[in-house]
Chain A
Amino acid sequence: MSDRQQENAVAVGSGRVNPARNGRADGGRVPRIALRDIRKNFGSLQALRGVDLDIYPGECLGLVGDNAAGKSTLTKIISGTYIPDDGTMHLDGEPVRFSGPADARRRNIEMVFQDLSLCDHIDVAGNLFLGREVTRGPFLDRKTMLSEARKMLDALEIRIPRLSSKVAQLSGGQRQAIAIARAASFDPKVLIMDEPTSALAVAEVEAVLSLINRVKATGVSVILITHRLQDLFRVCDRIAVMYEGTMVAERSIAETDLEDLVKLIVGEKDER
């Protein structure tokens, strides 16, 4: 037992040092988004207690941690929903301060929510173009939207036979794929996905994971929150572990495994 604790203490220790070192040592690359000492309180609750995080273009960062570890708060700060109490945020090297979600979207930060973003009663093409419909005069230009939608889906190798079918008729994986395709088609710099695979069947998870890989390959920085740790190893380049409002560790995929992650998440360091 004491051996393991020792190992953990070391692991956690090095994890804490890593991000700061990465930020400087990687000097050649400018992070797509760089967070420094982000703090956020909700009344007496310290939701985030000084979080540092760098995400690079074309990289997928897995964000893990127990419930209430601060994952969602952090992504909501990145997507402009919450405004941090303290700390700085840089987008492509420029300091930014979002006034709200719309502001963040204007700066090409997109978020995909679990099953919250599609209209069941509108067809696939209509959902892909929701909010930016192509029109000819006063009328919807269905033909253009259908062919453009087909191109959007083809680019991400999403196979949906009939684009005129209602979204309600599709499977969970197809729905999630459409939501991701739509977010990806807004030309995002950062794409945040909160539990994109949690309600999906096995084959659908595979499809969504390979879709994330394809989105990543287009140079988008992806932040993936998930409780399915095995998914992380399929798509992520790095994994950041949060615990009680702090970033306790950052690991590149090559230097970690499932067991290590689980230990970091549950925070056995407390017994130290």
Chain B
Amino acid sequence: MTAYTERSQGSPWADFLSEQAQVLSIAFFFLVCVVFFAMTTDTFMTLGNLLNVIRQAAPILIVAVAMTFVIITGGIDLSVGSQVALVNAVAAIALAAGLPWPVVVVAMLCFGALIGLGQGWFVAYQGIPAFIVTLAGLSMLRGIALYLTQGYSIPIKGVPGFFALGRGELFGIPVPALIAIAVAILGYVVITSTRYGRQVVAVGSNMEAARRVGMPARWAIASVYVVAGVASALAGLLIAARLGSGSSNAAVGFELQVIAAVVLGGTSLMGGRGTIVGTILGTLTIAVIGNGLILMHISPFFTQIVTGAIILIAIWLNTRIFTANFRFGFARGNRP
């Protein structure tokens, strides 16, 4: 009997490196940014500023965790910014109408899920590319928000319980940051250790295989848009609570920040590969850059240029590092 070949077994360390290369490189990038701003500004490393950074990063992180799920399935959700704005506006209208805030919060989360379900249905069951469906969503949902508010900002008054969501602190940590951390931990556990998470990865990795082994492949795809909808609704509520108003002009360009954070964290746009840890680091990197450049008194317009350039460089480095390991890992294998 022929002994089985063991040709492609490298050292476990090389495997670990190639698997974690993305996260390690973004972690390195994050540390470089932190050190740079700590040295160039006096205020960056103060507790107050760091709390401010995580308070502002919270909505992005919440949606980025959900976006990681979407991108792992090989999809994308461009409509999250518009969803945030719509929920933001509708929540303000509902609160202004005198509805109790816990009811509004629950209703808005359900509303987000419903929007996500609609988009997910088109993507998963009707086979329309996610890019198209959510691009339409981006336009329509923002449009609805504008129509409902007629472009005005709607003030929210006299609901301290609601404001605590955006402005409160618990043990000295801002409530939005605590919520975001909870969401990130939940996302990490779900994607790594639950059957649902396994289905999401399988669908993104090999749709056909997932379908053949009897996984609910279509539902897995539709569900990630529901997750994104709920996360967007949560982010919209936190922003409304922090600013004390609801506006159809909230979260413009939000989807790009979110997608940038996820991609910066090493999640592959081709699907299958992605980590929540990478997404957290990607989000923090973008937040730190934005904050640090402002502290350095650099024009806010410049922030966008730098953020874009850093995304490009980081992903370029990522790709190079990953490719090097890829070759190393498969050098003696026989796959093309």
Contact = CB atoms under 8 A, between A and B. Distances in A.
Contact of B206 (A105, A120, A159): A120
B198 A171 contact: no
B204 A121 contact: yes
A131 B6 contact: no
Interface of A: 101-102, 105, 116-122, 126, 130-133, 135, 138-140, 142, 157-159, 161-162, 165-166, 169-174, 177, 200-201, 203-204, 206-207, 210
A33 B79 CA distance: 52
8 contacts: A116-B209, A119-B272, A121-B272, A121-B273, A122-B202, A130-B202, A172-B333, A204-B334
Nearest to A204: B5
Contacts of A120: 205-206, 272
B319 interface: no
B194 A138 contact: yes
Closest 5 CB pairs of A and B: A131-B213, A119-B205, A121-B272, A206-B2, A159-B4
B195 interface: yes
Nearest to B332: A171
Nearest to A111: B212
B118 interface: no
Interface string B153-196: 00000000000000000000000000000000000010001110
Contacts of B195: 133, 135, 138, 140
Contacts of A206: 2
Contacts of B8: 169-171, 174
Contacts of A159: 3-4, 6
A140 B213 contact: no
A204 B4 CA distance: 7
B333 A171 contact: yes
B7 A171 contact: yes
A126 B5 CA distance: 21
A157 B4 contact: yes
Contacts of B198: 122, 126, 130, 133, 140
B109 interface: no
Contacts of A201: 334
Contacts of B205: 119-122
A158 B334 CA distance: 19
Given A157-B1, A171-B8, A203-B2, 12 more contacts: A116-B212, A122-B198, A130-B202, A131-B210, A135-B195, A158-B4, A159-B6, A165-B15, A169-B329, A174-B5, A206-B2, A207-B4
Contacts of B4: 157-159, 173-174, 177, 207
